[in-house]
Structures are given as C-alpha cells and as structure tokens.
Amino acid sequence: MHALVMLTRANIRSFVRDRTALFWTLAFPVIFILLFGAIFSGGGDTTYNVGWVDQDGTAASAGLRQAFGQVPLLHLEDGTLQASRQAMQKGALNGIIVVPAGLGASVAAASGGPGSPGAAGPSSAATLEVYTDPSQQTASTTIRQVASQVVASLNVTLTGRSPALGVTDRTLQTQDLTSAAYLVPGILGMALMQLGVFGAVPLVAQREKLILKRLGATPLPRWTLVGSNVLLRLLIGLVQAVLIVGIGVAVFGVQVLGSLWVMAALVVLGALSFISIGYVVAAFARTEEAANGIVQVIQFPMMFLSGVFFPLEIMPSVLRPIATLLPLTYLGDALRQVMVSGSAFAPLPVDVAVLAGWFLVCLTVSARFFRWE
Amino acid sequence: MAISPSGQDGAATPATGDGAVIEVARLRKRYGDVQAVDSISFEVHRGEIFGLLGPNGAGKTTTVEILEGLRSPDEGTVRVLGIDAAHHADRIKERVGVQLQTAALYPFLTVVEVLDLFRSFYARSRPTAWLLEAVDLGERRHAQTRQLSGGQRQRLSVALALVNEPELVFLDEPTTGMDPQARRSLWDLVLRLREGGTSVLLTTHYMEEAEQLCDRVAIMDHGRVLESGTVEALVTRRFHERAVFFDTLPGLSVPELEQLPRVERAMLEDGVTVLYTGDVSATIGALLGRAEQLGLEPRNLGIRRATLEDVFLDLTGRALRE
C-alpha cells in the first residue's frame, strides 16, 4: 500500500513537472472548449444590421420603426431600397425591412373602429417586406422571427384584442440544446478519450527506457505498478472534468441538470475504457514513435465520428455505422444525457454497457499481449 | 597480476553448494534462432566478488537477468540464495540488489525522490543518507535525474541496487560511462560492500576492473563459459610466459614467428603482434636478428606480463573490447 502511494505520488510529480504533458492534458481541452464554444454558440450577443426602407412616410411607419428599433438584436440603417440591396450584397447588411407605401393607410383603416364589428377582418392587411439571405441561416431565421413577433404584438395593440392563442416561452432542453450545452459533454468525453488512449505513449516510453524492467527487478507487484498508472490518469480525468464543466457553466452558462456523482462515475468508467485502449496500444507498439502514431490514428477519426461536435443525425449515413461502434459516441451520449438532459443516442444503460464492454475486452487483450520489456 | 605459477585453480572443482549464493547448472536460454546461453554452470560463493567477462552478445546479460528473476530459463537449474529462481523469483527480489545496464530513471524526479520511491518497494531499506554518501551524490540530492551527468546517473543506479541492504548485488557493467575517478570510487564501494559481507556478481568488459575487483571470474563467449577461476589461476594456467609485443611486420608470418626460440604462441591482433615466450631476451634477440635480415625494424616493441586480456584473446582469438 505504501508503495502504491509512493508510486502514485512519483507519477503525479513527474506529470506536473513535465510542462508539455501538463499543457496537452489540461490546457489543451480548456483552449479547445473556449474556442469551439465561442465559434459554435456564436449567437449570444450578436446584433444584425438591417436596412430600414420607409416608402410610406406616415406616422404609422415611424411607429413601426420605433418598435423595431427597440429590439436589441437589430441595428437599423435607413436607406432607399436600392442602396440597401447593394449594401446587403456587399455583406454590410444582414437583411432589409421594407415598409411599402400605403401601409399607414391600411393600418388606419384596420384600426379605424376598435371593437367595431367591421374591424374584425380587414380586407387588405398591411404587409411588411422582409429581405433575408438564406445562405446566412441564423441571421435570416432570427430577422424573420423578430419581424413576425414585432408585427404580431403590434397587431394586438392596433386591434385592441388579445390574441385567442398565445405562446409562452419555456425551456425544456431536449432537441434544441444550445451549442455549448451540446459541446461541453462532448469535449469532456473527447478529453477523457485523449487522456486514456495517449496513456500508451508514456507507458511504451517507460518500457523502452527499461524503467518497467527495473521496477520488475524489485518486489513491487505488477498490479501496484498498473494501479498507480491508472490512478494518475483517473485523477487527471477528474481534474479535466472539473475544468471543462466549470468553464461550460461559468463562461457559456450551461446548466448542469444531472447528479454530479453519476457524472463522476461516468467520467471514471469512460476514463477506464480509454485507458484500457491505451494499454492495448502499448501492448502492440514497440517504440514510443509507433505508439504515438497509433494513438493519432485512433484519436482523430474518433474525435470527428463520435458526435462530439455535432449530433450524429447530421452525419452522412455511410459513416453512422462507424459511430455506433466507437466508445466515445457512448461516453459523449451518456455524459450529455446526465449533464444537460440532451436527447439520447442510446439509453443510458446501453451507453454504460458498451463502455464496460470496451473496458473488459481491452483489459483481456492487454493482459494477454502486454510486454514488460 | 603476478604470472608466477601459483596454487591450484579452485573453481573448476564443483562446489558443494554450502556457502554458495548462486548455483547455476546446465542453464540454457534461446531467443528464436540464437542460443543466448548454452548450457553453462558456475557458482558464486558467499562474500566474494564474481565477474562475468565477455564481449557484447556473449550471454552475460541474459544470464544475469535469469538470476535476477527477470527471465525464465529454458533448461537447467538456477538457485539464488538457495531459492529456485525459475519458480520463486519474488522471494529472491526482496533480498538481492539489481543494477541494470541501461535502465533510465524517472527523469522528472530528484535523486532523493527516486531513492525514497525504491525504498518503499522493500520491507527493509537503508537510510537515504547512507545511500547518497555511498555513491557520493549528496550534493546532487535535489537535482532531477534528467539533469545528472551520465556518470552520476550510473552512480544513482548503483545506489538503487543497494537500497534494500541486499545480501547479493548484481552490477551489470557498472562503470560504463564513468570517468576514471568515479570508476575508482565505485571500485572502493564494491570492495567495502564485500567487507560488509555482501556478495557481488558483476559483468564487465574492462579487464582492469575484473583484475582489481574480482575474486573469481568466468569468461563467456557465444553463450558458453569458456573458463572460470581466480584471475591469477586463469592467467598462469595458460601463460607461464611473458608477452613480447610490437607493431605487426608485414614480412613476418605467424608460423615463422612461432619458430623463434622459446616462443610458445604468436598472435596477431589489431595490427599488433604478440609473442608469448618463456625467455624474453632469447626471443627478442632472435626477433631483432630476423627482422634485420629482412631489412625491417620492429616498432613499439615492449614486454609485459600476461593478463586476462591475453587469456581471452587466447580463448577466443578476439580482443575482449570489440
């Protein structure tokens, strides 16, 4: 037991003093999540430049402009239709809202007799023209939604009637996770994958430098040696989890819904299955360079085919069978379900079973083929 | 190393096993097509320094690693401290100390940290301060091992072999990479260990080291023990003569040289001719006469006693340091 403590302490010291290892295992995932979080969640406090073309020039159109001007998402720029279209083509504007001539008159007609029976169905409704660019998906959706919301609420004011049907916004995170909420569990899974699989490299290096052989000449039991290596990786895994989830919560406002204990258990299980994959790599790689190469070959496809960055539904169907084999798919899925109640790729017990299965298979293979020198 | 005919060689006689810390009998180990160790037998007595000599690839390291419990033998029996090394290696590991030829250490740990780490592996251990003093690393105690020089690293690996106060220490080419001063102080340490009752098995290809330290040696080549015994016995068994050496003269063939008076053997090695002779002046006189007839002059002519190097050369036809 004393030896296990001493060896683990030695491993931790070695790890902390090796700045390169420290950077790749701790700073890298942090940089990653900050970067990807910023890129994918984008929307946060963006404003869209919208051209405002008033062809009506009545009090009503001025009122409309005021209403739109209050929407924080939009920045209005007055101009003629032609000028605005040119600006939009150059990319200076994300969209254009046109108030056609005669709008004021129609509005006046519609609201002429509030509460009077004739006002129930205005024969010619005033119409705003909204130009957007379908290639800018987020911008065009946002601008069109904002426009219809503003118009809808104006309709209520103008007609003096409360709508028969309304929609109240409530959040139920299922399909439409914010990008960050989707990313954080994925990136945590990815970090654990890298941590575990990469474990092969120092292991092979220790074998190449005969450190394992030298330890084998002492009475130190091998399980203690393996145990302390695994313990170190698990500790790093938990530190990574705290860092990544912490950044998700603090910077991107991700709400952690599930139990922290269940999450910790998943982190440990996930780390164990990837560590065991690392041992399999170490069992077959003879040199540190070879181990490094194999690790890259495993890590990169897994990173992009396991739904870490985007849901598997939008992956080409050819690639999906591959995704269903990869352990990272299930770790990401499990973490996502527990952490942010994201939609499930597979039921949680299936995720756990697949990860445990990978662990057991790799454990068996590495126990059979691992060489100490 | 006197060459005078001295006592009988004691090593050739099979020892009883009493007082033996290592007993190896008909040990064989094969790697693929290579018979690394080919039926060797020898014993190491308690309290002695025993040297395994031989060129790289002779099978020294394989033999030592089997004794250390790191490899299992194909055939033969190996007993270390009376324990069967093939089946109870774990019991041996607690009581022996091991220094591996090329083992690196945890590069980011300090000298003291590595020593304390290894101390935790054993039921009993020597104080860290004793170990630092023994290998003279006190001043570097807080240096990370990656910052140590090659010789310092080597000394640390010797210290690690002494951590558990072992009854038997294996030193695999312990002075490789050391400067002469460090080598001397390691030799002193090894001699002090023997005084304290520790048995030592060391492998080396430095003749001087074997001659300075070893009570007995075994010479290995191609997986076999060619000969074993005290250094003196090995030398005197073969060479009652002294060696006359000079830069090889192209005109003088080995058969012709062996015709010179009192020459028992002539050898060519690396551009140097060596004549083993029972009468140095007769041989040199005849040599110079013959050379003059041919219009040649022997350069770098010298005389010395025979050494282990000569024994090895005689046994294998090769120099040991290749």
**Percentage above 70 pLDDT, chain A:** 87
Count of A-B CB contacts under 8 Å: 63
DSSP count for chain B of H helices, then E strands: 11, 14
CA triple B120-B122-B126, angle to 5 deg: 85
CB atoms A210 and B93 under 8 Å: no
Q: What distance in Å separates residue B307's CA from the closest CA in chain A?
A: 34
pLDDT of residue A171: 41
What is the residue extent of each domain of chain A?
2-41+174-369, 48-109+125-159
Q: Which residue of B has its CA nearest to A212?
A: B103
**A338 lies within 8 A of chain B by CB:** no
pLDDT of residue A120: 42
Here the tokens at position B180 are: 């002469």
Q: Which residue of A has its CA nearest to B107?
A: A14
pLDDT of residue B10: 38
Q: Would the CA dihedral through B293, B294, B297, B300 be positive or negative?
A: negative
- Pick the closest to residue B315 from B244, B238, B223 (CA basis): B238
- Pick the closest to residue B54 from B281, B226, B240 (CA basis): B226
Do residues B286 and B242 lie in contact, with contact meaning Cβ atoms separated by under 8 Å? Answer: no
Q: Which residue of B has its CA nearest to A9?
A: B117
CB atoms A13 and B69 under 8 Å: no
pLDDT tens by residue, A3-12: 999 999 999 9
- DSSP-derived letter for residue B8 is P
CB atoms A13 and B113 under 8 Å: yes
Do residues A256 and A177 lie in contact, with contact meaning Cβ atoms separated by under 8 Å? Answer: no
Q: d(Cα A232, Cα B241) in Å, to the nearest integer?
A: 64
pLDDT of residue A121: 45
CB atoms B93 and A217 under 8 Å: yes
In single-letter form, the type of residue at position B113 comes to: E
With residues binned 3-state (H G I as helix, E B as strand, rest as coil), the percentages for chain A, rounded to 5, are 65, 5, 30
Do residues A110 and A143 lie in contact, with contact meaning Cβ atoms separated by under 8 Å? Answer: no
Q: d(Cα B107, Cα B126) in Å, to the nearest integer?
A: 23
Q: d(Cα A58, Cα A105) in Å, to the nearest integer?
A: 8
Q: How confident is the model at residue A169 (pLDDT cuts 50, 70, 90)?
A: very low
pLDDT of residue B7: 37
CB atoms B160 and A214 under 8 Å: yes
Residues of chain A in contact with residue B90, where contact means CB-CB under 8 angstroms, are 219
Q: What distance in Å separates residue B116's CA from the closest CA in chain A?
A: 8
Residues of chain A in contact with residue B68, where contact means CB-CB under 8 angstroms, are 217
Domain B239-316 classification at class level: alpha beta
**A210 lies within 8 A of chain B by CB:** yes
CB atoms B106 and A211 under 8 Å: yes
Q: What distance in Å separates residue A357's CA from the closest CA in chain B?
A: 33
Q: d(Cα B281, Cα B71) in Å, to the nearest integer?
A: 53
**B105 lies within 8 A of chain A by CB:** yes
pLDDT of residue A358: 95
- Pick the closest to residue B93 from A222, A203, A367, A6 (CA basis): A222
pLDDT of residue A8: 93
User: Is pLDDT of A176 > 70?
Assistant: no
Point out the residue among B69, B103, B116 whose CB comes nearest to the CB of A211: B103
pLDDT tens by residue, A134-146: 777 677 777 887 8
User: Is pLDDT of A167 > 70?
Assistant: no
Mutation site, A218, A228, A229, A232, interface B, largest B CB count within 10 A: A218
pLDDT of residue B40: 93
- DSSP-derived letter for residue A118 is G
pLDDT tens by residue, B183-193: 888 899 999 99
Q: d(Cα B21, Cα B171) in Å, to the nearest integer?
A: 15
**Percentage above 90 pLDDT, chain A:** 29
Q: d(Cα A304, Cα A302) in Å, to the nearest integer?
A: 6
Point out the residue among A14, A217, A218 whose CB comes nearest to the CB of B109: A14
pLDDT of residue B55: 82
Here the tokens at position B315 are: 């046994």
Per-residue H/E/C for A38-96: HHHHCCCCCCEEEEEEECCCCHHHHHHHHHHHCCCCEEEEECCHHHHHHHHHHCCCCEE
Per-residue H/E/C for A311-335: CHHHCCCCCHHHHCCCHHHHHHHHH
pLDDT of residue B320: 58
Rounded mean pLDDT of chain A? 82
Residue A169 class from Cβ within 10 Å (0-12 exposed, 13-18 middle, 19+ buried)?
exposed
Query: What does the DSSP assignment read for B193-262?
Result: HHHTT-EEEEEES-HHHHHHH-SEEEEEETTEEEEEE-HHHHHHHH-SSEEEEEEPPTT--HHHHHTSTT
What is the residue extent of each domain of chain B?
20-229, 239-316
**A19 lies within 8 A of chain B by CB:** no
pLDDT tens by residue, B140-196: 999 999 999 888 888 899 999 999 999 999 998 888 878 888 888 889 999 999 998
E strand or H helix at B48: none
Residues of chain B in contact with residue A203, where contact means CB-CB under 8 angstroms, are none
**A211 lies within 8 A of chain B by CB:** yes
**A209 lies within 8 A of chain B by CB:** yes
For residue A254, the Cα-to-chain-centroid distance in whole angstroms is 10
- Pick the closest to residue A293 from A204, A219, A206, A228 (CA basis): A204
For residue A136, the Cα-to-chain-centroid distance in whole angstroms is 20
Q: CATH homologous superfamily of domain B20-229?
A: P-loop containing nucleotide triphosphate hydrolases (3.40.50.300)
Residues contacting A154, CB < 8 A, separation 6+: A64, A67
Residue B126 class from Cβ within 10 Å (0-12 exposed, 13-18 middle, 19+ buried)?
middle
Query: In which order are the strands placed within the sheet that holds B224-229?
Result: B96-99, B168-172, B199-204, B49-53, B216-221, B224-229
CB atoms A10 and B106 under 8 Å: yes
CB atoms A218 and B122 under 8 Å: yes
pLDDT tens by residue, A233-253: 999 999 999 999 998 888 888
pLDDT of residue B112: 95
Q: Which B-chain residues 18-77 have CB contacts (< 8 A) with chain A?
A: 68-70
Q: Which residues of chain B have pLDDT under 50?
A: 1-17, 322
In this structure, the dihedral spanned by the alpha carbons of residues A272, A276, A282 and A284, taken in order and rounded to 10 degrees, is -170
pLDDT of residue A275: 95
Q: d(Cα A88, Cα A131) in Å, to the nearest integer?
A: 9
Q: Which residue of B has its CA nearest to A17?
A: B108
CB atoms B104 and A209 under 8 Å: yes
pLDDT of residue A4: 92
CATH number 3.40.1710.10 is the correct assignment for the domain at A48-109+125-159: yes
CA triple A130-A132-A135, angle to 5 deg: 160
Helix/strand/coil for A3: helix
Q: d(Cα B276, Cα B209) in Å, to the nearest integer?
A: 23
Q: Could you identify the residue written with the tokens 């490789």?
A: B176
Residues of chain A in contact with residue B93, where contact means CB-CB under 8 angstroms, are 217-219
CB atoms A14 and B98 under 8 Å: no
For residue A223, the Cα-to-chain-centroid distance in whole angstroms is 38
pLDDT tens by residue, A219-229: 998 889 899 99
- Pick the closest to residue B152 from B128, B181, B116 (CA basis): B181
Residues of chain A in contact with residue B117, where contact means CB-CB under 8 angstroms, are 6-7, 10
**A10 lies within 8 A of chain B by CB:** yes
Q: Which residue of B has its CA nearest to A225?
A: B121
- Pick the closest to residue A50 from A158, A169, A145, A178 (CA basis): A145
Q: What distance in Å separates residue A20's CA from the closest CA in chain B?
A: 12
Do residues B109 and A10 lie in contact, with contact meaning Cβ atoms separated by under 8 Å? Answer: yes
CB atoms A214 and B100 under 8 Å: yes
pLDDT tens by residue, A99-153: 888 888 887 776 654 444 444 444 456 788 888 887 776 777 778 878 887 887 7
pLDDT of residue A116: 42
Q: d(Cα B116, Cα B129) in Å, to the nearest integer?
A: 10
pLDDT of residue A117: 43
CB atoms B117 and A10 under 8 Å: yes
Point out the residue among A2, A5, A210 whose CB comes nearest to the CB of B102: A210
Q: d(Cα B47, Cα B16) in Å, to the nearest integer?
A: 16
User: Is pLDDT of A281 > 90?
Assistant: yes
